[in-house]
A and B are shown apart, each in its own frame.
Chain A
Amino acid sequence: MLKINNYWKYKLEENRKKNQVNNSTINNESFEKLKNQLSEWEKNILEPWVNKSNQSTNQNTTFDDEIKTIYTPLDSADYSNQYFPGSYPFTRGPYPDMYRGKKWTMRMFSGFGTPNDTNKRLKYLVKQGQTGLSIAFDMPTLYGYDADNERCAGEVGKCGCNISSLKDMEILLDGIPLDKVSTSMTINAPASVLTAMYATVAKKNNIQINTLRGTVQTDILKEYIAQKEWAYPPDAHMRIIKDMMEYCTKEMPNWNYISISGYHIREAGSNAVQELAFTLANGFTYLELGQQAGLKIEKFAPRLSFFFNCCMNFCEEIAKFRAARRIWATVLKEKYGVKDKRSLLLRFHTQTSGASLTWQQPMNNIIRTTIEALAGVLGGTQSLHTNSYDEAWALPTEDAVKIALRTQQIIAEETGVTATADPLGGSYYIEWLTDKMEEQAYQYFDKIDSMGGVVNAIKNGYLQKEIAETAYKTQLKIEKDQDIIVGVNKYNEKEDKPIDTLRVDLKAQEIQIKRLKKIKNERNNNKVKESLERLRKAYSNENENCMYPTIEAVNSYATLQEIIDIGRDVFGEWTEPSIF
């Protein structure tokens, strides 16, 4: 471990020094020669040429005017110590043979309507060859309100599956072999409750919970920063996550209890560097939270996984993934003193960008998703969700989902990009971009730390404002036709309704309310009350792990909202600082 007062400043200084000397893979003599050749080429070949033709502007990029016409060995730092995937600092991939050995997991996110509806869709996807499940929940579930709450009018089952109690989870997972599949659940504020429900359903099916494989998102920091679905103030949620880390490390060792997510940060309008930097900064914060729970990083770091967005700037995205792996490994080793190799690996899931999909000419979205998915694969993703072309309109139809899954299968089976690890490694441009991403991320880490860390940078609104600022700039570029979106501000045409879309009717709400009523009548209400009181005590006492009473409450068929309301009582609610 490096014993340095300000690690980020040290890294920035290290970078600055690197850029001053010949850091490339070539020797000094060749370096000087190349420098001369380059200036001659610029003078004699490039300049006369450029004068004759129009230069196109840069598209959808973080670095705008900084991008040069060509890159050479002069631009990329020495990467000769990172030629090998599966080896520190893992720039070229977390595993030695990458997709030659094992392809990425094709994990399509799905969920809508009642648990019965989503259960059917999950079974359909398994039949289509999908290798991992991923469940989306509706807004009431994400916020921890039951289907019968009046605030949920019109929202039940609309953009995900509704879960109001253990009963719903039993229906959702019916017939799914929990000992064989891995399940990812996109749930944050109520993650502890849904983990408890999943484990309880497994127990009821005589499956040992220490064998359960899956992921819950749980990343509350990016909720405050970007997605904005929380139940309590930051400190309360962080405490519950700490308890989850402790509980899962002990009882559910194969459960990935946090998926540190840049996806939503990007969708909220950030650029690639902000996505990278804010996500990794959140990651470091969770590492320190685990340490506070008395856990050794080596004990839990392998359970942390990441979730990134993949947008349209192909090269930039690939560089982002490579930089992410390198930064994580470097910082864990140098700043946190981690030695165990498994703990240094940054493994991630990728989803193609929802925000890049257009409402106009929606079939074009198939092409966008293909390009983004390919960048995810060339960036070395461990699993991938491809969006469907109709998702700017609504939740996807079955046919649209099938094309999205086929997109991945075509990349995996037909293109040959899986034949070698990190096929773009060594490209002067990709290597330069990777360095650039890394350097700018360090600048953000330094800035965030100077504010006292991520939680403070949330409370003072800094991170939210940074994203809103970039989102506004992006919109202005589109309005001025500086950024082109095909079908939106160029090549647009008048269209009647171009596609049929899925509609989730309001029946889901009726069904869910009816079921809730039945459960509340049939369950032992004394037991519910007792278990909720035990939970209240645990919430009020920081030294007690709240996961055990959460499981007890779930098991008594206390509803999701009844459980979350106890927390609302104890911790209070959260109002975000003014962003606008």
Chain B
Amino acid sequence: MSSKKKIRILVAKPGLDAHDRGVLVLCRALRDAGMEVIYSGLLPTPQKVAQIAIDEDVDAIALSSHNGAHLTAFPEVKKQLESKGINDIAIIGGGIIPEEDKNELENQGISGNFGPGTSMETIIDHINKSVKK
């Protein structure tokens, strides 16, 4: 029998961004895929996101941005975690992220950076792999 631990993941939209259709769908898809999903609710600051991640002891954070603040908000979450000595939480990005910003986010430790039309399966696969690492 498998004793594999369920992945605990925080889903959040840091910043002033309420386009929550995608994250609400994602939350359900991740739950249906067997993960333990924590949704931050709307409008958390990056600090708040990091705090929830620590309090909930998650394995991964899925961040979404639809209004162009990804280069500011995503790395800030990472920075906040690092300032508390946390380096083992996988951070995955998604939303409206221009191609040319993806490398920059990747370099800052935010992977995935999935655009519109990405299948849930692709995202779930990516999370599974990222957490295993």
Contact = CB atoms under 8 A, between A and B. Distances in A.
B17 A139 contact: yes
Q: For the side of the interface on A, what is the size category?
A: 35 or more
Given A159-B67, A475-B25, A579-B24, A154 B117 contact: no
Interface residues of B, number: 33
A269 B69 contact: no
Interface string B5-32: 0000000000111101100110111000
Nearest to A496: B99
Contact of B41 (A153, A158, A497, A576): A576
24 contacts: A139-B16, A139-B69, A145-B16, A151-B15, A151-B16, A151-B45, A155-B68, A158-B68, A159-B68, A268-B20, A269-B25, A359-B115, A392-B96, A394-B68, A468-B21, A471-B25, A472-B29, A475-B25, A485-B117, A497-B99, A497-B100, A501-B98, A580-B24, A580-B37
Contacts of B42: 228, 576
Given A269-B21, A471-B24, A155 B117 contact: no
A575 B41 contact: yes
A229 interface: yes
B86 interface: no
Nearest to A139: B16
Interface of B: 15-18, 20-21, 24-25, 27-29, 37, 39, 41-42, 45, 67-69, 71-73, 76, 96, 98-100, 115-117, 119-121
A155 B15 contact: yes
B69 A158 contact: yes
Contacts of A475: 25, 29, 120
A485 B71 CA distance: 29
Nearest to A230: B18
A155 B16 contact: yes
Contacts of B17: 139
A432 interface: no
A472 B25 contact: yes
Contacts of A152: 16
A154 B96 contact: no
B72 A153 contact: yes
A154 B25 contact: no
Contacts of A227: 18
Contacts of B29: 472, 475
Given A139-B16, A394-B98, A468-B25, 5 more contacts: A154-B69, A154-B73, A159-B67, A468-B21, A503-B98
Interface in A471-509: 471-472, 475, 479, 485, 488-489, 497, 501, 503-504
B69 A488 contact: no
Nearest to B70: A154
